[in-house]
Structure 1
Amino acid sequence: MVLLPNYHAAGPLAQALSAAAGLPALLLPQMTTLADWAQSIPLAVSVQSDTQRLLTLYQALRDRNWFPDADLWSLSRELLTLMDELTRHHVSLPESTEAFSRQLVAAYQAQSGVAMQFEARVVHELWYAMAAHDELDVTAAYQQRLAILAQQVTMPLFVLQTCDLDAPEMRFLAACRERVRVTVFDLRELLGMDAGCALLSAALQQELHGEDLRSAAQSRVAGVALTDRIGLFGAHGMEQEAQAADVQVRRWLLEGKTAIAVVVQDRMVARRLRALLERARVMVQDETGWTFATLSVSTVLMRWLEAVQGDFYYQDVLDLLKSPFLFAENQVLRKQAAYQFEQLVRRHGVVLHLNEHIAAAEREAPELVPALVRLRQAARLLTARHASLSGWLSALHQSLDLLGVIHGWRQDAAGQQLMQLLALWQEELQADTTSCSFSEWRRWLSQQLDLNTYRDLSVDSPVLFTHLAATRWRCFDAVLLLGCDAGHLPAPVNAGLWFNDAVRTTLGLPLSCVQQDQVRDDLLSLLAMNGTVLATWQANCNGEPNLLSPYFEMLRAMHLLAFGHDLMNVELGGLLPLAQVRIQDSDRKGLPRTTKVLHTKFLREGCRIQDPAKMPRPVVPPELIPQKISPSGYNSLVACPYQYFARHVLHLNELDDVREDLDKRDYGTWVHEVLQRFHAEIPQLGSRDKGEAERVLRRISDEVFANALAHDYLAQAWLLRWQGLIPAYLHWQLEIEADGWRYHAAEVPFEVAVSGNLLLRGRLDRVDVSVENADAFAVIDYKTQSIQGLKNKLKSPGEDVQLACYAHVQAAKTAAFVSLDDDTVQAVSPDEEIDELAQLTLARLGEIFAQIREGAGMPAHGTEKICAYCEMKGLCRLGEWEESQDRGLRIAALGVGGELNG
């Protein structure tokens, strides 16, 4: 019988045995892991699942109310781990809390206090409460199976190990030695006989032995350098580390390597690396898996529960409707519902309450009503105040079935596994009657999803994502260690909330550093058994220096002293700008889910050299050239051509944001409506009593703000702000009339031909007419901005085009912004002649669109102020261009190379 650390070692061991025998056929010995061997032993008593034990601990903590403000589910999980550890190491606690407290006092070497007595009481009382059950826990059952197995073993045992075994396994092997021959092959001892591993062993053991670095390097080097085996790469951030790993993996594939291991220390970098590899059509076989909490099959579940608990907050509902698992039997219905719901909430700002969503849909989008009613029917299944966890899970299944989610899960591998998990938990908890609220159950479910892992078994690829412990006794063609900084390798010790190392020593528990010792041993074995290894880390993280793992730092220092080389890979960094993958249009079909063979032709196409990334300069296809433009769109074009391209060609800002809180935009809208109604009722202020006019204006203001006040008390603040401006506005209006102007019209729509088929369209806030000349007009644009801000807009001629456009369409003699922001109301006009400025502004617009039709590029060169508030800066990726650009100029003419520039 051969006991393996994992089944991955079975294949290479079988090949090695066959090669050593030199026979065409060989009857192999039985190979298994100790855990699976023990599982084959039946027990006479039942075994309580960890799910049941966790709930028992939770109920005990909740009943005792020791931690009223704590997350009891996490605390229960921590205590469950402690209980298992006490069982695993055969720790017997004193029979009384007082005796246990004295033991803790001695171990802590401190005076007895309330906190220490409380710690002793919690652990002692819960330990005996859990021990009172007749059923065995999983750890105790495993130990009992090992004890039975040790009395039944009749064949010699051969054990492969890379690090020290846990106490139950050591006791098992000791019992087996009394009956049969037990041979242990410790990889650490075998590697110690290899001169090539001497420096590795010295480096990784150095911190423990405290030897002088130089003497260790000189005495243990044995004349074997590691430059051909191990390399280090320090990246300038997460993106560069992922890019370096992507390029190196593809280079290894081009070299013909068929077994490449990516040992993941940093999951964030691994996620980005996987995306880069799949973009190059290199599929990944993932042994580490992903927690269910990160998968879309769980996202639809948690979004559904968040929507129910949050009274159907619009964002939760929208996220839910965008999930392909909702209404899976009718995706057309779901997509239409998602689009219509988004339009509805953006137009009307209905933020909460499913019934209000349904009422709004009945008025304006009747096709949306059946989908929302279906949500309401499913939500009624989850309206109980308290239920058992099993009861909640049953209700959840019914609600998800009604929503079509179960149908969608059945078509998805991850969904199938999640359904199995939910059914298993419901079965395990069927007999438990502990009552939990909706929020308690939801927190439990969230923790369960975060602790269980999904592994995609359908991918067979030469590129394997794995973790360090899974590499024991395995050889690969090449190994990439990802995320080897000091924060990830070794990972921080999880000492837990209970007991320091002094107490653990007193109780007979292993010290917290044992975990790091295992990591060190696994790393040594991996480096020694594999001839091509690259370790990467972020030398700079978030603008701060980030230290390399102490293991590799020691190895680098010793190798530098011994051989004058620090193992740093200086070649890889220079390849990154030239190795960007570009998928051709003919390649943009869905990637295969299973990749068994990677052809050399494809790999070479995926790794072809590309030009460095440049600033985006999109050219608008003729069929997408806008035929209409507003003054605000013209302003966007002047500010940054790429911004205009993203906003008005790609329509990426087509929908307005849903404003949950009142802001200045709402204030401006209300003030515009107030003034429109006021001047329609009193066109000439001088003909009316000023006191009467003020009363009319205040009445209209109250009426306009009434709807907002009914929904949000904060509207009162905006109303008071406007009411404080009313006297100043009336005074300004009288001055305008005294200068010979009269109110003519408000909210005047316009549409004017510019050039070709381009139309300038929009709406004028207000038009005044001259008393002396009926053909002379003035255009006024209300702004809830400061006087200084408006002056800055007009400081550079042509930078802000709104007034010039308005003046052109109305043939106005004057145009002005009117500030309604400060304590005074004041008009701001351009210094230039408005008619001349209008002509130049419209002529420039026609010339720019002529250039766009000719194929001019639209680069991103907005000023820093423009970019700071631009919602498209993540799309153009400002700051990542390799060539410098002068972004302070305005659009004026066609530049070199056929591009719009300043």
Structure 2
Amino acid sequence: MDELARQVAQAGLAPSRVVVLLPYGALVAEARRAWAARAPLASGFAPRFTTARDWAAALSPWRPGSDDISHDMARDALVAAAWIERVVRERLEPGLRRELVARLIGAARQLAPLAAAQPPERRAAWAEDRRAALAATLGSAAAQWESLVASLAITWAGSSAYVTDALWSPLAAPGADADRLLCLPGHHPDPLAEALLAHWGDRAARLAWSAPAEPAPRVWACEDFEAEAQAAAACAIEHLNAGRAPVALIANDRLLTRRASALLVGAGVRLRDETGWKLSTTRAAASLMALLRAADARASTDEVLDWLKLSPAFPPLAVESLERRLRQRGVARWSAVPLDWRGADIDPQRAELQASRPLLLWLKDTAAALERSGQWAALQADEAGRQLIGVLRLGEGAHELDGLGEAAAGERGAKARWPLTAFAAWVRDVLEGAVFQPTVAGAPQVVVLPMAQRLGRRVAAVVAPGSDERHLSASPEPDSAWTAAQRALLGLPDREALARAEASAWAQLFDGAPVDALWRRHEAGEALLPSAFIDGIEPRPASELLPASAVPAGGTAPPAARAPALLPERLSASAYDDLRTCPYRFFARRQLRLDEVDELDTEPDQGDLGNWLHAVLRAFHEARGDDRPGEDADRAALDALAERVALDMGLGDEVQAGGFLPYRAVWPALREAYLRWLWPHEAEGWRFVAAEAEREQRAGRWALYGRLDRIDARRDADGGESFVIDHKTESRARTEARVKEPMEDTQLAFYAALLSEPRLRAAYLSIADTRGERDEPAKLIEQTEVLAARDAIVQGLVHDLDRVAGGAAMRALGEGMACEYCAARGLCRKDFWTPSTDGVQGLP
């Protein structure tokens, strides 16, 4: 301000005839306050503090043309695609095309400041010179796509108009709108500001910043990411408690800054984030993308459920019920969901967005689909949702995209027909390129900003987390899209220029405010060194900011739950096995009815093989009955059923089929193993009675129920005899271990208790892939003492349940493998137990 006042007075100009170009927009209010604070100039007109972009917009409103760089991703993505397809005649693979579009936009935006610094009439010649000079560095055939992107970026930047072009017009000529131009530089060179200074000649001058204070930060060393985020928040709160506000929180490490910001907001701090975050990460974007993913004809069940949960048009209880059924059955693809399970409105709404159409129709129909699903009102009520509607032109403004990209050779223009995948990719790119900055009510106490924009800001303190070698390098790496030689040819800053700018930004952090710099010693298991800017300064431990509180050593007592009122009156074999294995597991799963949520979109596993085989054998025997059509007929019937059942279970669709291939590969061996067991078994007089047979019996006041894989029967001289058979596809050793101790095997004894026949046999039929082993592929593993085990298990079940009903404690008594894969392990907290001393007695 001193230098500005001197130059204004020396030239004898009215302050209002002086334009002062600032490096970024947030400085405008700061500069006006600083000028108004000068006592001699407290009244009268002030110089015009502005940025080049705002000055040009005030002189002449600007709208981008159909091929201009607009810095609006919705437009630029269409124009970039048109540029690519003008020169690439063959149809590109969608992934490659999207990558080329993204790289072209990035390269063109880097060159845009250089092109804007050229007068419009000389811009084409500038581009031609740069393109010719760059051609010598892009001659390799291996660099085909890099050459294409570089050449198109220069052409696009050189042929584009810019909002600042008004500064080259007579409206902004020296003496027309202003009599003097002063430039206050930022850390990075500004090509346009330098060009305007040359254009104005002796009517222009630079202003200089005052010398920064000597760097003397407090340096805090933290152990890891979370410790650094907490320490950064603690530093900011310490300054606020001392009356120092606002505090600048420097965004060196964006992820860390987000975490520290969340901690501060959670503590009630008013925080304004000037860096913002990608619009694609907001809930509004997730809601829209959920609709587009669910609309795909190949959508997974998870994708459709995600959309249903975000759509007010679908009742939450109905969606929850549907999800529970789908998870129990393990339906991974929506196309495999039974028709009678689907809601009446789900598929019609999805179908509305499955046909190809022009972009402008996509925008209109997407808005209508959001309205039908109830999502539109939620978007309009949300700040990020309103921005999303605006950047995508879902409400008004779609006509702005009309005609963009139509010059492309092919069918990618705005009036060409886009498939859903192309439209969804465009939406994703637009949301990735838009920045969301939430508004804050009242004066902010903490302001998140880039280090370069600390320059000239009035802040009471500065907190700079991420001051490590990775996030605050003293020698930043230039953008890898250009080589050092290409950067020199184009006029882009090299490593040395970037290093100078970084050093300047670091020095200006200390402009009259205390600075806290933080870094962490470790990240992702690797050591992390401090930035060269703070190397050599003795760090203080972050524990001084976050003093440790005394926590008594010790664990948690083993649980001893009692819930007789929640005891179910009907028990299955697996429920009683839970009680015998671990009473607390029974309490968690059967009394509290807690269980793990089944995954939907997973690869088929051994469980799917077992379910598939059970369903195939059931269908085979129910269709075959007592007939004996012959070996070839049996093989053909099993093969046909195997295919049909796989399709019914969703294991034949394009996604699941690949994962199920290893199991289908062993099907011929399993089929032969089963038939070679079945035929001799039937020759002994056994006949099929029922499969998946539901049975129920009483045991005292308790009801036992279950579903038996298979019941066979035969008659001999002693009368009738029944045979309960349970199919197993697990390892042979595990099945054989089940029957070693008859009184320990719950399943067959429980199944026997469901049948009242006096003559009864029970066995596991192990059907396993035993290729390379001497054991037979299908083997009947019989429980020879099943009747005694049945009587013992009924007596034990009544005794145990009566004790639970009487209030016995349900202790966690599982051991070994029973605990290793227990769904209730996190609830009983066995890993954190201390020896119990309460003397409570539980089930033995």
TM range (shorter): 0.7 to 0.9
Question: Could you tell me which residue of structure 1 aligns to residue 728 of structure 2?
Answer: 783
Distance 2:36 2:62 in 1: 42
Question: Could you tell me which residue of structure 2 aligns to residue 729 of structure 1?
Answer: 677
* Residue 190 (str. 1) matches residue 219 (str. 2): no
Question: Could you tell me which residue of structure 1 aligns to residue 707 of structure 2?
Answer: 763
**Distance apart, 1:268 and its partner CA:** 3.9
Question: Could you tell me which residue of structure 2 aligns to residue 598 of structure 1?
Answer: none
Distance 1:473 1:537 in 2: 29
Pick from 510, 529, 538: which aligns with 2:493?
510
Distance 2:459 2:811 in 1: 48
Distance 1:150 1:806 in 2: 101
Pick from 446, 455, 458: which aligns with 2:428?
446
* Residue 826 (str. 1) matches residue 826 (str. 2): no
**Distance apart, 1:783 and its partner CA:** 1.0
Question: Could you tell me which residue of structure 2 aligns to residue 287 of structure 1?
Answer: 274
Distance 1:422 1:148 in 2: 37
Q: Is the 2:670–2:769 contact (alpha carbons within 8 Å) kept by the matching residues of 1?
A: no
Question: Could you tell me which residue of structure 2 aligns to residue 56 of structure 1?
Answer: 79
Question: Could you tell me which residue of structure 1 aligns to residue 7 of structure 2?
Answer: none
Q: Is the 2:612–2:646 contact (alpha carbons within 8 Å) kept by the matching residues of 1?
A: no
Distance 2:673 2:737 in 1: 23
Q: Is the 1:638–1:799 contact (alpha carbons within 8 Å) kept by the matching residues of 2?
A: no
Question: Could you tell me which residue of structure 1 aligns to residue 106 of structure 2?
Answer: 78
For residues 235-292 of structure 1, the C-alpha deviation after alignment (integer angstroms, 9 at most, x for no partner) is 1xx4555555566666666677654444334444455555556666667543332312
Distance 1:483 1:797 in 2: 64
CA RMSD of aligned residues (A): 5.2
Give the alignment of 1:269-284 within 5 angstroms: 269-273=256-260, 284=271
**Distance apart, 1:778 and its partner CA:** 6.1
Q: Is the 1:264–1:481 contact (alpha carbons within 8 Å) kept by the matching residues of 2?
A: yes
Distance 2:39 2:126 in 1: 61
Unaligned runs of 5+ in 1: 201-225, 560-564, 579-609, 887-893
Give the alignment of 1:397-796 within 5 angstroms: 397-423=367-393, 426-432=398-404, 434=406, 435-436=411-412, 437-438=418-419, 439-459=421-441, 462-474=445-457, 476=459, 479-490=462-473, 495-496=478-479, 498-512=481-495, 514-526=497-509, 529-531=512-514, 533-537=516-520, 539-541=522-524, 544-551=525-532, 555-556=534-535, 558-559=536-537, 565-571=538-544, 575=548, 628-635=570-577, 648=590, 651=593, 653=595, 657-658=599-600, 664-673=606-615, 675=617, 694=631, 697-698=634-635, 701-702=638-639, 704-705=641-642, 707-708=644-645, 712=652, 717=665, 719-730=667-678, 733=681, 746-751=691-696, 760-766=704-710, 779-792=724-737
Corresponding letter in the other structure for 1:153: A
Distance 2:170 2:531 in 1: 40
Distance 1:292 1:55 in 2: 19
Q: Is the 1:401–1:407 contact (alpha carbons within 8 Å) kept by the matching residues of 2?
A: yes
| SS of corresponding position for 2:220 | strand
For residues 592-637 of structure 1, the C-alpha deviation after alignment (integer angstroms, 9 at most, x for no partner) is xxxxxxxxxxxxxxxxxx9999699696877766555433345556
TM-score (norm 2): 0.74
Question: Could you tell me which residue of structure 2 aligns to residue 152 of structure 1?
Answer: 177
**Distance apart, 1:76 and its partner CA:** 2.4
Corresponding letter in the other structure for 1:838: I
Distance 1:57 1:847 in 2: 75
Identity over aligned pairs, percent: 23
**Distance apart, 1:34 and its partner CA:** 1.6
Question: Could you tell me which residue of structure 1 aligns to residue 801 of structure 2?
Answer: 846
For residues 518-552 of structure 1, the C-alpha deviation after alignment (integer angstroms, 9 at most, x for no partner) is 344333333564425251436141xx214134335
Residues 259, 863 of structure 1: alpha-carbon distance in 2 compared, 3 angstrom cutoff: farther
Residues 621, 673 of structure 1: alpha-carbon distance in 2 compared, 3 angstrom cutoff: same
Corresponding letter in the other structure for 1:786: S
Pick from 88, 104, 108: which aligns with 1:65?
88
| SS of corresponding position for 2:769 | coil
Q: Is the 1:745–1:766 contact (alpha carbons within 8 Å) kept by the matching residues of 2?
A: yes
**Distance apart, 1:708 and its partner CA:** 2.5
| SS of corresponding position for 1:432 | coil
For residues 751-799 of structure 1, the C-alpha deviation after alignment (integer angstroms, 9 at most, x for no partner) is 56779x8755432334567968779876532211121122455678988
Distance 1:528 1:644 in 2: 66
For residues 186-234 of structure 1, the C-alpha deviation after alignment (integer angstroms, 9 at most, x for no partner) is 4xx232xx4xx2xx5xxxxxxxxxxxxxxxxxxxxxxxxx5xx332212
Question: Could you tell me which residue of structure 1 aligns to residue 304 of structure 2?
Answer: 317
Residues 85, 371 of structure 1: alpha-carbon distance in 2 compared, 3 angstrom cutoff: same
Corresponding letter in the other structure for 2:55: A
Residues 352, 658 of structure 1: alpha-carbon distance in 2 compared, 3 angstrom cutoff: closer
Residues 315, 54 of structure 1: alpha-carbon distance in 2 compared, 3 angstrom cutoff: closer
Unaligned runs of 5+ in 2: 1-18, 413-417, 771-776
Question: Could you tell me which residue of structure 2 aligns to residue 306 of structure 1?
Answer: 293
| SS of corresponding position for 2:541 | coil
Would you say how many aligned residue pairs link Structure 1 and Structure 2?
778
Residues 885, 487 of structure 1: alpha-carbon distance in 2 compared, 3 angstrom cutoff: farther
Distance 1:672 1:21 in 2: 91
Residues 152, 617 of structure 1: alpha-carbon distance in 2 compared, 3 angstrom cutoff: farther
Give the alignment of 1:192-341 within 5 angstroms: 194=214, 197=215, 229-235=218-224, 238-242=225-229, 259-273=246-260, 284-323=271-310, 326=311, 328=312, 331=313, 333-335=314-316, 338-339=319-320, 341=322
Residues 428, 897 of structure 1: alpha-carbon distance in 2 compared, 3 angstrom cutoff: farther
Q: Is the 1:88–1:143 contact (alpha carbons within 8 Å) kept by the matching residues of 2?
A: no
Corresponding letter in the other structure for 1:632: S
**Distance apart, 1:444 and its partner CA:** 2.5
Distance 2:288 2:390 in 1: 15
Distance 2:464 2:839 in 1: 45
Distance 1:720 1:174 in 2: 84
Out of 166-175 and 499-508, give the one that drifted further: 166-175
TM-score (norm 1): 0.70
Residues 729, 248 of structure 1: alpha-carbon distance in 2 compared, 3 angstrom cutoff: farther
Residues 249, 104 of structure 1: alpha-carbon distance in 2 compared, 3 angstrom cutoff: closer
**Distance apart, 1:77 and its partner CA:** 0.9
Pick from 347, 353, 364: which aligns with 1:372?
347
Corresponding letter in the other structure for 1:379: L
Distance 2:738 2:463 in 1: 54
Distance 1:480 1:271 in 2: 14
